[in-house]
Structure 1
Amino acid sequence: MLFDTHAHFNDKRFKDDRDEAIKKAYESGVSYILNVSYNIPSLEQSISLSRKYSYIYAAVGIHPHYSKEMNDEVLEKVRSLAKNNKVVGIGEIGLDYYRDLSPREVQKDCFVRQIDLAKEIKLPIIVHIRDANEDALKVLKDENAREVGGIIHSFSGDINMAREVMENNFYISVGGPVTYRNAGKLIDVVKYVPLDRLLIETDCPYLTPEPFRGNRNDSSLVRLVAEKIAEIKDKTFDEIAEITTNNAKRLFKIWHD
Protein backbone atom coordinates (compact mmCIF):
# COMPACT_ATOMS: atom_id res chain seq x y z
CA MET A 1 0.00 0.00 0.00
CA LEU A 2 1.72 3.16 -1.25
CA PHE A 3 0.66 6.82 -1.40
CA ASP A 4 2.12 8.99 -4.17
CA THR A 5 1.63 12.42 -2.65
CA HIS A 6 2.53 14.39 -5.78
CA ALA A 7 1.57 13.50 -9.35
CA HIS A 8 0.56 15.39 -12.48
CA PHE A 9 -1.44 12.91 -14.53
CA ASN A 10 -3.13 15.79 -16.33
CA ASP A 11 0.24 16.62 -17.93
CA LYS A 12 0.34 16.42 -21.73
CA ARG A 13 2.95 13.65 -21.56
CA PHE A 14 0.15 11.32 -20.44
CA LYS A 15 -2.28 12.30 -23.21
CA ASP A 16 -1.92 9.03 -25.14
CA ASP A 17 -2.05 6.55 -22.25
CA ARG A 18 -3.28 8.38 -19.15
CA ASP A 19 -5.81 5.75 -18.06
CA GLU A 20 -3.36 2.93 -18.64
CA ALA A 21 -0.65 4.65 -16.58
CA ILE A 22 -3.05 5.32 -13.71
CA LYS A 23 -4.32 1.75 -13.70
CA LYS A 24 -0.77 0.41 -13.86
CA ALA A 25 0.10 2.38 -10.74
CA TYR A 26 -2.88 1.02 -8.84
CA GLU A 27 -2.15 -2.55 -9.91
CA SER A 28 1.45 -2.15 -8.77
CA GLY A 29 0.36 -1.34 -5.21
CA VAL A 30 -0.22 2.41 -5.24
CA SER A 31 -3.46 2.72 -3.29
CA TYR A 32 -3.60 6.53 -3.17
CA ILE A 33 -2.49 9.28 -5.57
CA LEU A 34 -2.65 13.03 -5.03
CA ASN A 35 -2.95 14.78 -8.40
CA VAL A 36 -1.64 18.29 -7.90
CA SER A 37 -2.73 21.36 -9.88
CA TYR A 38 -0.32 24.05 -11.05
CA ASN A 39 -2.13 26.42 -13.47
CA ILE A 40 -5.71 27.43 -14.27
CA PRO A 41 -6.60 24.59 -16.70
CA SER A 42 -5.15 21.98 -14.34
CA LEU A 43 -7.51 22.94 -11.52
CA GLU A 44 -10.57 21.30 -13.02
CA GLN A 45 -8.49 18.60 -14.70
CA SER A 46 -7.25 17.40 -11.31
CA ILE A 47 -10.77 17.29 -9.91
CA SER A 48 -12.00 15.44 -13.00
CA LEU A 49 -9.38 12.74 -12.45
CA SER A 50 -10.31 12.47 -8.78
CA ARG A 51 -13.95 11.93 -9.73
CA LYS A 52 -13.05 9.25 -12.25
CA TYR A 53 -10.81 7.23 -9.92
CA SER A 54 -11.73 6.51 -6.31
CA TYR A 55 -8.05 6.34 -5.29
CA ILE A 56 -7.08 9.72 -6.79
CA TYR A 57 -7.41 12.89 -4.73
CA ALA A 58 -6.83 16.47 -5.86
CA ALA A 59 -4.99 19.57 -4.73
CA VAL A 60 -5.90 22.92 -6.27
CA GLY A 61 -3.57 25.89 -6.52
CA ILE A 62 -1.39 28.07 -8.74
CA HIS A 63 2.32 27.21 -9.09
CA PRO A 64 4.83 30.06 -8.77
CA HIS A 65 5.59 29.78 -12.50
CA TYR A 66 2.02 30.93 -13.18
CA SER A 67 1.76 33.49 -10.36
CA LYS A 68 1.21 36.32 -12.82
CA GLU A 69 -2.12 34.67 -13.73
CA MET A 70 -3.39 35.09 -10.17
CA ASN A 71 -6.14 37.64 -9.60
CA ASP A 72 -9.35 37.85 -7.56
CA GLU A 73 -11.28 35.80 -10.11
CA VAL A 74 -8.72 33.00 -10.14
CA LEU A 75 -8.52 32.96 -6.35
CA GLU A 76 -12.29 32.68 -6.18
CA LYS A 77 -12.14 29.77 -8.64
CA VAL A 78 -9.62 27.98 -6.42
CA ARG A 79 -11.81 28.67 -3.38
CA SER A 80 -14.89 27.29 -5.09
CA LEU A 81 -13.19 24.16 -6.41
CA ALA A 82 -11.59 23.48 -3.03
CA LYS A 83 -15.05 22.73 -1.66
CA ASN A 84 -15.13 19.48 -3.67
CA ASN A 85 -14.94 16.51 -1.30
CA LYS A 86 -12.01 14.97 -3.23
CA VAL A 87 -9.88 18.10 -2.77
CA VAL A 88 -7.57 17.56 0.20
CA GLY A 89 -5.00 20.35 -0.18
CA ILE A 90 -4.05 23.68 -1.72
CA GLY A 91 -1.16 23.37 -4.13
CA GLU A 92 1.17 23.41 -5.55
CA ILE A 93 2.10 26.86 -4.37
CA GLY A 94 5.36 28.50 -3.38
CA LEU A 95 8.41 30.27 -4.81
CA ASP A 96 10.69 29.39 -7.74
CA TYR A 97 13.70 31.65 -8.23
CA TYR A 98 15.43 29.16 -10.54
CA ARG A 99 13.26 29.82 -13.58
CA ASP A 100 11.76 33.15 -12.46
CA LEU A 101 8.84 32.75 -14.88
CA SER A 102 6.85 35.23 -12.79
CA PRO A 103 8.36 38.28 -11.03
CA ARG A 104 9.48 37.44 -7.49
CA GLU A 105 7.21 39.93 -5.77
CA VAL A 106 4.29 38.57 -7.78
CA GLN A 107 5.25 35.05 -6.71
CA LYS A 108 5.29 36.12 -3.06
CA ASP A 109 1.89 37.78 -3.35
CA CYS A 110 0.39 34.69 -5.00
CA PHE A 111 1.94 32.47 -2.34
CA VAL A 112 0.58 34.61 0.51
CA ARG A 113 -2.92 34.79 -0.97
CA GLN A 114 -3.11 31.02 -1.28
CA ILE A 115 -1.78 30.41 2.22
CA ASP A 116 -4.47 32.74 3.51
CA LEU A 117 -7.06 30.81 1.51
CA ALA A 118 -5.82 27.49 2.92
CA LYS A 119 -6.16 28.87 6.45
CA GLU A 120 -9.65 30.14 5.65
CA ILE A 121 -10.88 26.77 4.39
CA LYS A 122 -8.64 24.69 6.68
CA LEU A 123 -6.70 22.64 4.14
CA PRO A 124 -2.97 21.81 4.21
CA ILE A 125 -0.68 23.28 1.56
CA ILE A 126 1.68 21.61 -0.90
CA VAL A 127 4.73 23.84 -1.22
CA HIS A 128 7.17 24.13 -4.13
CA ILE A 129 10.51 25.77 -3.26
CA ARG A 130 13.38 26.10 -5.70
CA ASP A 131 16.39 28.36 -5.07
CA ALA A 132 14.19 30.38 -2.70
CA ASN A 133 14.62 28.72 0.67
CA GLU A 134 15.11 31.87 2.78
CA ASP A 135 12.21 33.80 1.29
CA ALA A 136 9.87 30.80 1.29
CA LEU A 137 10.56 30.05 4.95
CA LYS A 138 9.97 33.70 5.82
CA VAL A 139 6.60 33.68 4.07
CA LEU A 140 5.57 30.44 5.79
CA LYS A 141 6.48 31.87 9.20
CA ASP A 142 5.09 35.38 8.62
CA GLU A 143 1.77 33.95 7.40
CA ASN A 144 1.57 31.41 10.22
CA ALA A 145 1.26 28.58 7.72
CA ARG A 146 1.84 26.15 10.59
CA GLU A 147 -1.85 26.64 11.34
CA VAL A 148 -2.69 24.30 8.45
CA GLY A 149 0.71 22.68 7.84
CA GLY A 150 1.37 20.64 4.77
CA ILE A 151 4.19 19.32 2.61
CA ILE A 152 7.47 20.68 1.35
CA HIS A 153 7.34 18.74 -1.89
CA SER A 154 10.40 17.27 -3.61
CA PHE A 155 12.53 18.47 -0.72
CA SER A 156 15.95 19.76 -1.80
CA GLY A 157 17.14 21.64 1.27
CA ASP A 158 19.61 20.64 3.96
CA ILE A 159 19.14 19.32 7.48
CA ASN A 160 18.80 22.82 8.95
CA MET A 161 15.98 23.64 6.57
CA ALA A 162 14.31 20.30 7.27
CA ARG A 163 14.42 21.08 10.99
CA GLU A 164 12.84 24.51 10.45
CA VAL A 165 10.00 23.33 8.26
CA MET A 166 9.20 20.43 10.58
CA GLU A 167 9.10 22.86 13.51
CA ASN A 168 6.51 24.77 11.49
CA ASN A 169 4.23 21.73 11.06
CA PHE A 170 5.37 20.52 7.64
CA TYR A 171 6.18 17.09 6.31
CA ILE A 172 9.23 16.37 4.17
CA SER A 173 8.34 14.69 0.88
CA VAL A 174 11.02 12.80 -1.04
CA GLY A 175 10.96 11.70 -4.66
CA GLY A 176 13.14 10.23 -7.38
CA PRO A 177 16.24 12.38 -6.69
CA VAL A 178 16.94 10.34 -3.54
CA THR A 179 17.98 7.51 -5.90
CA TYR A 180 20.47 9.63 -7.87
CA ARG A 181 24.26 9.36 -7.56
CA ASN A 182 24.56 12.93 -6.29
CA ALA A 183 21.89 12.48 -3.61
CA GLY A 184 24.29 12.78 -0.67
CA LYS A 185 22.64 15.82 0.94
CA LEU A 186 19.15 14.40 0.46
CA ILE A 187 20.20 11.04 1.90
CA ASP A 188 21.50 12.88 4.98
CA VAL A 189 18.12 14.61 5.28
CA VAL A 190 16.26 11.29 5.05
CA LYS A 191 18.49 9.88 7.78
CA TYR A 192 17.71 12.90 9.96
CA VAL A 193 13.95 13.24 9.45
CA PRO A 194 11.81 11.14 11.83
CA LEU A 195 9.69 8.51 10.11
CA ASP A 196 6.48 10.19 11.22
CA ARG A 197 7.39 13.30 9.17
CA LEU A 198 8.35 11.58 5.91
CA LEU A 199 6.26 11.28 2.75
CA ILE A 200 7.02 9.87 -0.69
CA GLU A 201 6.15 11.13 -4.16
CA THR A 202 7.00 10.92 -7.85
CA ASP A 203 6.22 14.41 -9.23
CA CYS A 204 5.41 12.43 -12.36
CA PRO A 205 5.99 12.81 -15.25
CA TYR A 206 9.16 14.48 -13.90
CA LEU A 207 12.09 13.40 -11.67
CA THR A 208 12.08 9.74 -12.66
CA PRO A 209 14.03 7.56 -10.20
CA GLU A 210 16.94 5.35 -11.14
CA PRO A 211 17.27 3.07 -13.01
CA PHE A 212 14.63 4.67 -15.28
CA ARG A 213 15.96 8.23 -15.20
CA GLY A 214 15.53 9.85 -18.60
CA ASN A 215 12.16 8.19 -19.19
CA ARG A 216 8.74 9.52 -18.27
CA ASN A 217 7.93 9.04 -14.61
CA ASP A 218 4.63 7.62 -13.32
CA SER A 219 3.18 6.73 -9.93
CA SER A 220 4.10 3.07 -10.16
CA LEU A 221 7.75 4.11 -9.70
CA VAL A 222 7.10 5.57 -6.25
CA ARG A 223 7.94 2.04 -5.12
CA LEU A 224 11.61 2.73 -5.96
CA VAL A 225 11.58 5.80 -3.72
CA ALA A 226 10.16 3.75 -0.86
CA GLU A 227 12.77 1.05 -1.42
CA LYS A 228 15.60 3.59 -1.24
CA ILE A 229 14.22 5.15 1.94
CA ALA A 230 13.89 1.68 3.47
CA GLU A 231 17.56 1.10 2.69
CA ILE A 232 18.60 4.46 4.19
CA LYS A 233 16.45 4.00 7.30
CA ASP A 234 17.31 0.32 7.75
CA LYS A 235 13.64 -0.63 7.61
CA THR A 236 11.68 -3.04 5.44
CA PHE A 237 9.89 -1.86 2.35
CA ASP A 238 6.55 -2.78 3.94
CA GLU A 239 7.32 -0.68 7.01
CA ILE A 240 8.14 2.39 4.91
CA ALA A 241 5.09 1.87 2.71
CA GLU A 242 2.79 1.63 5.73
CA ILE A 243 4.34 4.54 7.64
CA THR A 244 4.43 6.99 4.73
CA THR A 245 0.91 6.07 3.63
CA ASN A 246 -0.45 6.56 7.14
CA ASN A 247 1.39 9.89 7.41
CA ALA A 248 -0.27 11.12 4.21
CA LYS A 249 -3.71 9.84 5.22
CA ARG A 250 -3.37 11.64 8.55
CA LEU A 251 -2.30 14.90 6.90
CA PHE A 252 -5.08 14.82 4.31
CA LYS A 253 -7.69 13.41 6.70
CA ILE A 254 -8.38 10.35 4.56
CA TRP A 255 -9.80 7.94 7.09
CA HIS A 256 -11.06 5.09 4.90
CA ASP A 257 -9.15 2.30 3.15
Structure 2
Amino acid sequence: MTTSEVEESPDVMAFAPRPVNRRLVKVLALLVVLAVVAAAGVAVWHRLRPPPDFTLEQLQEAYTGMARSDGTNDVSTIDASKFPDPPLTFTPAACTPLFDSTVSNQWPAGALDGVSTYWLNDGTASISLFTVRYPDDEAASAAYARVVDAMPKCQQGTDITFTASAALDRRLPESGGTLYPVPLVTPKDAGDQLAYRLERAGSQGRYVVHLLRLSNTVSWQYRYDFGTATYDNTADQQLMDGLVTQLTSIQTAARP
Protein backbone atom coordinates (compact mmCIF):
# COMPACT_ATOMS: atom_id res chain seq x y z
CA MET A 1 0.00 0.00 0.00
CA THR A 2 1.43 3.34 -1.01
CA THR A 3 1.59 6.43 1.09
CA SER A 4 -1.10 8.14 -1.02
CA GLU A 5 -3.55 5.25 -0.53
CA VAL A 6 -3.16 5.56 3.23
CA GLU A 7 -3.86 9.27 3.17
CA GLU A 8 -7.05 8.80 1.11
CA SER A 9 -8.62 6.18 3.42
CA PRO A 10 -11.68 7.61 5.35
CA ASP A 11 -11.58 7.97 9.12
CA VAL A 12 -13.94 5.70 11.07
CA MET A 13 -15.45 7.13 14.32
CA ALA A 14 -16.77 4.89 17.02
CA PHE A 15 -19.94 6.03 19.00
CA ALA A 16 -20.89 4.72 22.41
CA PRO A 17 -23.51 5.90 25.00
CA ARG A 18 -22.23 8.06 27.78
CA PRO A 19 -22.19 6.44 31.18
CA VAL A 20 -25.55 6.93 32.98
CA ASN A 21 -25.37 9.19 36.04
CA ARG A 22 -27.56 7.07 38.28
CA ARG A 23 -27.36 9.53 41.11
CA LEU A 24 -28.75 12.32 38.93
CA VAL A 25 -31.61 10.08 37.76
CA LYS A 26 -32.55 9.26 41.34
CA VAL A 27 -32.52 12.93 42.32
CA LEU A 28 -34.75 13.87 39.37
CA ALA A 29 -37.17 11.05 40.14
CA LEU A 30 -37.34 12.12 43.77
CA LEU A 31 -38.07 15.72 42.76
CA VAL A 32 -40.93 14.56 40.53
CA VAL A 33 -42.43 12.50 43.37
CA LEU A 34 -42.13 15.40 45.81
CA ALA A 35 -43.81 17.75 43.34
CA VAL A 36 -46.74 15.35 42.89
CA VAL A 37 -47.12 14.87 46.67
CA ALA A 38 -46.96 18.63 47.27
CA ALA A 39 -49.62 19.32 44.63
CA ALA A 40 -51.89 16.66 46.14
CA GLY A 41 -51.32 18.08 49.63
CA VAL A 42 -52.24 21.59 48.51
CA ALA A 43 -55.42 20.27 46.89
CA VAL A 44 -56.46 18.37 50.04
CA TRP A 45 -55.66 21.34 52.28
CA HIS A 46 -57.66 23.66 50.04
CA ARG A 47 -60.65 21.32 50.22
CA LEU A 48 -60.53 20.61 53.96
CA ARG A 49 -59.50 23.96 55.41
CA PRO A 50 -62.21 25.89 57.27
CA PRO A 51 -64.22 28.20 55.01
CA PRO A 52 -63.78 31.95 55.47
CA ASP A 53 -66.00 33.69 58.01
CA PHE A 54 -69.06 35.47 56.68
CA THR A 55 -69.09 39.25 56.46
CA LEU A 56 -72.19 41.37 56.94
CA GLU A 57 -72.10 42.29 53.25
CA GLN A 58 -72.20 38.59 52.31
CA LEU A 59 -75.22 37.98 54.54
CA GLN A 60 -77.00 40.92 52.93
CA GLU A 61 -76.18 39.46 49.51
CA ALA A 62 -77.55 36.05 50.51
CA TYR A 63 -80.82 37.52 51.75
CA THR A 64 -81.33 39.53 48.57
CA GLY A 65 -82.39 36.27 46.91
CA MET A 66 -84.87 35.33 49.65
CA ALA A 67 -87.90 36.83 47.88
CA ARG A 68 -91.54 36.21 48.77
CA SER A 69 -94.00 34.63 46.34
CA ASP A 70 -94.98 38.10 45.08
CA GLY A 71 -91.36 38.84 44.19
CA THR A 72 -90.82 41.37 46.99
CA ASN A 73 -88.21 41.15 49.69
CA ASP A 74 -88.01 43.21 52.87
CA VAL A 75 -84.45 42.67 54.08
CA SER A 76 -83.32 44.51 57.19
CA THR A 77 -79.91 44.84 58.78
CA ILE A 78 -80.19 44.07 62.48
CA ASP A 79 -78.14 44.55 65.63
CA ALA A 80 -78.78 44.76 69.37
CA SER A 81 -80.44 48.17 69.05
CA LYS A 82 -83.31 46.61 67.06
CA PHE A 83 -84.29 44.31 69.95
CA PRO A 84 -85.41 46.61 72.78
CA ASP A 85 -88.24 44.46 74.22
CA PRO A 86 -87.96 43.38 77.85
CA PRO A 87 -87.44 39.62 78.14
CA LEU A 88 -90.14 37.10 78.88
CA THR A 89 -89.78 34.77 81.84
CA PHE A 90 -90.00 31.08 80.98
CA THR A 91 -90.91 28.19 83.24
CA PRO A 92 -89.06 25.86 83.46
CA ALA A 93 -86.18 28.32 83.35
CA ALA A 94 -83.95 25.71 81.69
CA CYS A 95 -86.06 26.06 78.54
CA THR A 96 -85.25 29.77 78.14
CA PRO A 97 -82.53 29.28 75.46
CA LEU A 98 -85.10 27.62 73.20
CA PHE A 99 -87.24 30.74 72.89
CA ASP A 100 -85.40 33.83 74.10
CA SER A 101 -84.28 34.89 70.60
CA THR A 102 -87.70 34.22 69.04
CA VAL A 103 -90.78 34.30 71.29
CA SER A 104 -88.99 36.63 73.73
CA ASN A 105 -87.47 38.75 70.91
CA GLN A 106 -84.07 39.10 72.59
CA TRP A 107 -80.82 39.86 70.77
CA PRO A 108 -78.58 36.74 70.81
CA ALA A 109 -75.77 37.28 73.29
CA GLY A 110 -72.37 37.77 71.67
CA ALA A 111 -73.69 38.35 68.15
CA LEU A 112 -72.25 41.28 66.18
CA ASP A 113 -74.95 42.02 63.61
CA GLY A 114 -77.06 40.27 61.00
CA VAL A 115 -79.94 40.41 58.55
CA SER A 116 -83.62 39.47 58.65
CA THR A 117 -86.72 39.14 56.51
CA TYR A 118 -90.28 37.89 56.94
CA TRP A 119 -93.24 36.38 55.07
CA LEU A 120 -96.98 35.88 55.54
CA ASN A 121 -97.66 32.39 54.20
CA ASP A 122 -101.14 32.52 52.59
CA GLY A 123 -102.65 33.68 55.86
CA THR A 124 -101.78 30.41 57.60
CA ALA A 125 -98.46 31.39 59.14
CA SER A 126 -96.16 34.31 59.75
CA ILE A 127 -92.50 33.52 59.18
CA SER A 128 -89.44 35.38 60.40
CA LEU A 129 -85.97 34.44 59.19
CA PHE A 130 -82.83 36.03 60.55
CA THR A 131 -79.12 35.27 60.53
CA VAL A 132 -76.76 36.72 63.11
CA ARG A 133 -73.00 36.94 62.73
CA TYR A 134 -70.51 36.12 65.49
CA PRO A 135 -66.83 37.11 65.77
CA ASP A 136 -65.74 33.60 64.77
CA ASP A 137 -66.82 30.00 64.31
CA GLU A 138 -66.13 29.15 67.96
CA ALA A 139 -68.50 31.85 69.23
CA ALA A 140 -71.26 30.73 66.84
CA SER A 141 -70.78 27.11 67.91
CA ALA A 142 -71.11 28.10 71.58
CA ALA A 143 -74.34 30.01 70.88
CA TYR A 144 -75.79 27.06 68.97
CA ALA A 145 -74.68 24.60 71.69
CA ARG A 146 -76.55 26.65 74.28
CA VAL A 147 -79.82 25.75 72.54
CA VAL A 148 -78.83 22.15 71.87
CA ASP A 149 -77.91 21.67 75.53
CA ALA A 150 -81.32 22.95 76.63
CA MET A 151 -83.25 20.33 74.65
CA PRO A 152 -82.58 17.37 77.00
CA LYS A 153 -83.76 19.54 79.91
CA CYS A 154 -87.05 20.22 78.07
CA GLN A 155 -87.92 16.81 76.74
CA GLN A 156 -90.88 15.99 74.52
CA GLY A 157 -94.13 16.81 76.25
CA THR A 158 -92.70 19.41 78.61
CA ASP A 159 -95.24 22.10 79.48
CA ILE A 160 -93.69 25.55 79.15
CA THR A 161 -95.25 28.78 80.39
CA PHE A 162 -94.04 32.33 80.01
CA THR A 163 -94.92 35.72 81.40
CA ALA A 164 -94.34 39.22 80.04
CA SER A 165 -93.25 42.35 81.83
CA ALA A 166 -95.71 45.23 82.00
CA ALA A 167 -95.84 48.70 83.57
CA LEU A 168 -94.66 48.98 87.17
CA ASP A 169 -93.03 45.58 86.81
CA ARG A 170 -96.35 43.73 86.95
CA ARG A 171 -96.30 40.24 85.43
CA LEU A 172 -99.14 39.42 83.08
CA PRO A 173 -99.74 35.71 82.45
CA GLU A 174 -99.29 34.54 78.86
CA SER A 175 -100.31 31.26 77.31
CA GLY A 176 -97.45 28.80 76.91
CA GLY A 177 -97.62 25.34 75.37
CA THR A 178 -96.15 21.88 75.13
CA LEU A 179 -92.73 21.26 73.57
CA TYR A 180 -92.12 18.69 70.82
CA PRO A 181 -89.01 18.09 68.69
CA VAL A 182 -89.32 18.36 64.91
CA PRO A 183 -87.48 15.53 63.09
CA LEU A 184 -85.12 16.73 60.37
CA VAL A 185 -83.65 15.11 57.26
CA THR A 186 -80.90 17.49 56.18
CA PRO A 187 -78.69 17.33 53.07
CA LYS A 188 -74.97 16.62 53.38
CA ASP A 189 -72.83 19.62 54.34
CA ALA A 190 -75.95 21.56 55.38
CA GLY A 191 -74.48 22.83 58.64
CA ASP A 192 -75.77 22.00 62.12
CA GLN A 193 -79.57 22.10 62.34
CA LEU A 194 -82.15 21.68 65.09
CA ALA A 195 -85.93 22.20 65.09
CA TYR A 196 -88.75 22.06 67.64
CA ARG A 197 -92.28 23.37 68.12
CA LEU A 198 -94.44 24.66 70.98
CA GLU A 199 -98.02 23.44 70.63
CA ARG A 200 -100.45 25.86 72.26
CA ALA A 201 -103.87 24.98 73.65
CA GLY A 202 -107.09 25.31 71.68
CA SER A 203 -106.96 27.45 68.54
CA GLN A 204 -103.90 29.46 69.55
CA GLY A 205 -101.70 27.78 66.96
CA ARG A 206 -98.08 26.83 67.47
CA TYR A 207 -94.59 28.33 67.51
CA VAL A 208 -92.05 26.49 65.36
CA VAL A 209 -88.31 27.19 65.57
CA HIS A 210 -85.63 25.90 63.18
CA LEU A 211 -81.94 26.68 63.79
CA LEU A 212 -78.97 26.51 61.46
CA ARG A 213 -75.32 27.00 62.39
CA LEU A 214 -72.94 27.59 59.49
CA SER A 215 -69.40 28.88 60.02
CA ASN A 216 -69.57 32.04 62.17
CA THR A 217 -73.36 32.46 61.82
CA VAL A 218 -76.52 31.14 63.46
CA SER A 219 -79.83 31.43 61.59
CA TRP A 220 -83.27 31.31 63.20
CA GLN A 221 -86.44 30.46 61.31
CA TYR A 222 -89.40 31.36 63.54
CA ARG A 223 -92.97 30.52 62.52
CA TYR A 224 -96.24 31.36 64.16
CA ASP A 225 -98.41 28.70 62.56
CA PHE A 226 -102.19 29.14 62.86
CA GLY A 227 -103.07 25.56 61.93
CA THR A 228 -104.37 22.83 64.21
CA ALA A 229 -103.70 19.80 61.96
CA THR A 230 -100.67 17.55 62.43
CA TYR A 231 -97.63 19.67 61.71
CA ASP A 232 -95.73 19.15 58.43
CA ASN A 233 -92.26 20.71 58.41
CA THR A 234 -91.65 20.33 54.65
CA ALA A 235 -91.92 24.07 53.99
CA ASP A 236 -89.62 24.81 56.94
CA GLN A 237 -86.93 22.51 55.61
CA GLN A 238 -87.24 23.84 52.06
CA LEU A 239 -86.75 27.39 53.28
CA MET A 240 -83.69 26.42 55.33
CA ASP A 241 -82.27 24.38 52.44
CA GLY A 242 -82.60 27.47 50.24
CA LEU A 243 -80.78 29.59 52.81
CA VAL A 244 -77.97 27.01 53.07
CA THR A 245 -77.59 27.04 49.28
CA GLN A 246 -77.40 30.83 49.22
CA LEU A 247 -74.86 31.02 52.03
CA THR A 248 -72.58 28.19 50.89
CA SER A 249 -72.45 29.45 47.30
CA ILE A 250 -71.30 32.86 48.54
CA GLN A 251 -68.82 31.24 50.92
CA THR A 252 -67.39 29.05 48.17
CA ALA A 253 -66.94 32.03 45.88
CA ALA A 254 -65.06 33.87 48.65
CA ARG A 255 -62.36 31.19 48.97
CA PRO A 256 -58.99 32.58 47.79
TM-score band w.r.t. shorter chain = under 0.3
Q: Comparing both structures, which one devotes a greater share of its residues to helix?
A: 1
Report the TM-score when normalising by structure 2. 0.26
